[in-house]
A and B are shown apart, each in its own frame.
Chain A
Amino acid sequence: MLARDIKKEPNISWQQPILESLPQNIQEIIKRIPLSVRRDLEEIRIRENRPLMIYSQGKDYFVCKDGSINSHMEQAYIITKNDTRNILQLISDYSIYAFEEELRNGYLTLQGGHRVGIAGKIVLDKGSIRTMKHIRSFNIRISKEIIGAADKIIPYLISDKKLCHTLILSPPQMGKTTILRDIARKISDGFPGFTGVKVGIVDERSEIAGCWQGLPQRNVGVRTDVLDSCPKAAGIMMMIRSMSPNVIITDEIGRMEDVDAILESLNAGIKVITSAHASDLQDAKRRPFLLRLLNSHVFDRIAVLSNSRGIGTLEQVYEGKNHQPLLAHPIR
């Protein structure tokens, strides 16, 4: 790419922190990927001794040394052992020893809230994962916040100027976290007809707020506190005790103890907005811990997401007590 083309380039916000975590040679390749593809980049896949790949606009591509992309692996740039070693040093700020918890979880968070998934050899200690070594695969996931993603859902979460206890059901990759994050921002900042309230986010997988060294890298609102990388059940209790939130937001409840903590916070008079993996209400009822939550009729609203009209479609909103649908048709 010529120098003058780079000058003309619009500012792509994710680029800086992602490029800084890559060695010079791969940085140069990524910078040369055609702008139309690069702007919508979702993942950069790095696997030792195999071609450099990217995932953009729902398709994956092989990347050549000159940044051109195609679907044939023959001309693709092959990742070397040196590359993976350098990437590990760069993403960990030369301090892989300081990321033991992250290695156990299989991912690190970069500045900007982007996540790097890692895979290698797991070292066990008495049957549980102690750490990971020989890390050979990286999945750099570019996270983008969509301000306004919650605009459609918000009116259904408020009744009589009060926030409703809400459960969001969605299959993976349907924009559940993006919507939760935008809900946090909106109810924390406030909007016409709604005064901002104190929000506590328990962010077990650092996805909602994308914290880097404890600092949210996403706009989660002015009245929001974040407990980063904290187990949900323990985190919800900590939040209630220490930060006096009006609303607790947490992602992907998946265990009975999470349910207990949520019921506990409801008793403490705190509103809860949370999400779970399920494709619809019927599907949710097949999961024991969700069934328990649904049967206790604690939620005022149950929202279901899908991709029937594109990612982030609000498929249906149910009234929480009697499970009556509130939407005539899906909206996006």
Chain B
Amino acid sequence: MFVKILNSFVIVIASTLLGRELANKYVNRVNELSALQVALSRLETEFEHYASHLPEAMIRIGNSIGGTAGKLFYIAGQSLTEKSSTLSEVWNTSLDLMKPEWSLRQEDSKILRRFGDQLGNSDREGQIRFIRLTLAQLHDEEVKARAAREKYDKMYRSLGLLGGIALAIILL
């Protein structure tokens, strides 16, 4: 009997954790999208007011905002200082490196990749216009991500706990 109760506990805990993990994906995506927007706004300021060079601006932003978005900027900025490949190559490689670490979906990555293709390729006005466009796109995705989070966050959490309990009862 004792073993059975122990087993049930393990099942409930495991299933709750699984539910939380799935729910966290939705929470993290919202946070990452909003952090990316902060980073891009900072980049816009660097372009507009300081005319900073891209590698140093990226490293500075990466260091100050931290998190996965900060890491992306930091990695990209560092690789640019090596001057061995093109900007879009560096940006795409950095995105690939970050892929296992974040909860962004394919549509988010696509926006970021498009951003990398244009980065550093036009005059200041063009760059700022392009950052604003990317910011708007990321904002749209964030709105959608928030809606998804409202819907699925609680659902997966409850489903994890309740599913675990149901399974434990059946097995008892």
User: Do A94 and B123 touch across chains, with their CB atoms under 8 A apart?
Assistant: no
Interface residues of B in 106-123 (CB under 8 A from A): 119-123
Of all chain A residues, the one with the shortest Cβ separation from B76 is A94
Instruction: Give A228 Cβ to nearest chain B Cβ, in Å.
Output: 15
User: Do B52 and A96 touch across chains, with their CB atoms under 8 A apart?
Assistant: no
CB contact between B47 and one of A24, A93, A97, A131 (< 8 Å): that residue: A97
User: Do A98 and B53 touch across chains, with their CB atoms under 8 A apart?
Assistant: yes
**Residues of chain A contacted by B55 (CB below 8 angstroms):** 93-95
User: Do A97 and B83 touch across chains, with their CB atoms under 8 A apart?
Assistant: no
| Complex-state Cα separation, A210 to B14, whole angstroms | 67
Interface residues of B in 27-45 (CB under 8 A from A): none
What mask results when residues 115 to 141 of chain B are scored 1 for a CB within 8 Å of chain A, else 0? 000011111101100000000000000
Instruction: Give B81 Cβ to nearest chain A Cβ, in Å.
Output: 9
Instruction: Give A135 Cβ to nearest chain B Cβ, in Å.
Output: 11
User: Do B87 and A89 touch across chains, with their CB atoms under 8 A apart?
Assistant: yes
Main secondary structure on B side of the interface with A: loop
User: Do B121 and A96 touch across chains, with their CB atoms under 8 A apart?
Assistant: yes
Interface band, chain B: 10 to 19
Known: A100-B123, A103-B123. A93 touches B54 (CB 8 A): yes
Instruction: Give B45 Cβ to nearest chain A Cβ, in Å.
Output: 13
Interface membership of A260, Cβ < 8 A: no
Of all chain A residues, the one with the shortest Cβ separation from B91 is A94
Interface membership of B59, Cβ < 8 A: no
User: Do A94 and B54 touch across chains, with their CB atoms under 8 A apart?
Assistant: yes
- Most chain B beta-carbon contacts within 10 A, residue among A86, A96, A103: A96
User: Do A97 and B86 touch across chains, with their CB atoms under 8 A apart?
Assistant: no
Number of A residues near B (Cβ < 8 Å) is 17
Instruction: Give A89 Cβ to nearest chain B Cβ, in Å.
Output: 6
User: Do A94 and B84 touch across chains, with their CB atoms under 8 A apart?
Assistant: no
Of all chain A residues, the one with the shortest Cβ separation from B52 is A98
Interface membership of A284, Cβ < 8 A: no
User: Do A97 and B87 touch across chains, with their CB atoms under 8 A apart?
Assistant: no
**Residues of chain A contacted by B121 (CB below 8 angstroms):** 85, 89, 96
Known: A100-B124, A131-B123. A95 touches B83 (CB 8 A): no
User: Do A95 and B86 touch across chains, with their CB atoms under 8 A apart?
Assistant: no
CB contact between B53 and one of A86, A93, A131 (< 8 Å): that residue: A93
Known: A97-B120, A100-B124, A131-B123. A24 touches B53 (CB 8 A): no
**Residues of chain B contacted by A95 (CB below 8 angstroms):** 52-55, 120
User: Do B86 and A89 touch across chains, with their CB atoms under 8 A apart?
Assistant: yes
CB contact between A97 and one of B80, B84, B123 (< 8 Å): that residue: B123
| Complex-state Cα separation, A1 to B127, whole angstroms | 42
| Complex-state Cα separation, A93 to B82, whole angstroms | 10
Interface membership of A157, Cβ < 8 A: no
| Complex-state Cα separation, A51 to B124, whole angstroms | 31
CB contact between A94 and one of B80, B122, B124 (< 8 Å): that residue: B80
**Residues of chain B contacted by A90 (CB below 8 angstroms):** 83
**Residues of chain B contacted by A257 (CB below 8 angstroms):** none
**Residues of chain B contacted by A131 (CB below 8 angstroms):** 123
| Complex-state Cα separation, A85 to B86, whole angstroms | 9
Interface residues of B in 42-88 (CB under 8 A from A): 47, 51-55, 80, 83-84, 86-87
**Residues of chain B contacted by A97 (CB below 8 angstroms):** 47, 51, 120, 122-124, 126-127
Residues of chain A whose beta carbon lies under 8 Å from any beta carbon of chain B? 20, 24, 85-86, 89-90, 92-98, 100, 103, 131, 133
A/B interface sample: 29 pairs, CB < 8 A: A20-B83, A85-B121, A89-B86, A89-B120, A90-B83, A93-B55, A94-B54, A94-B80, A94-B87, A94-B119, A94-B120, A95-B52, A95-B54, A95-B55, A96-B122, A96-B123, A97-B47, A97-B126, A97-B127, A98-B47, A98-B51, A98-B52, A98-B53, A98-B124, A100-B123, A100-B124, A103-B123, A131-B123, A133-B122
Sample of 10 further A-B pairs with CB below 8 A, known A24-B84, A95-B52, A98-B52: A92-B120, A94-B54, A95-B55, A96-B120, A96-B121, A97-B124, A98-B51, A98-B53, A100-B124, A131-B123
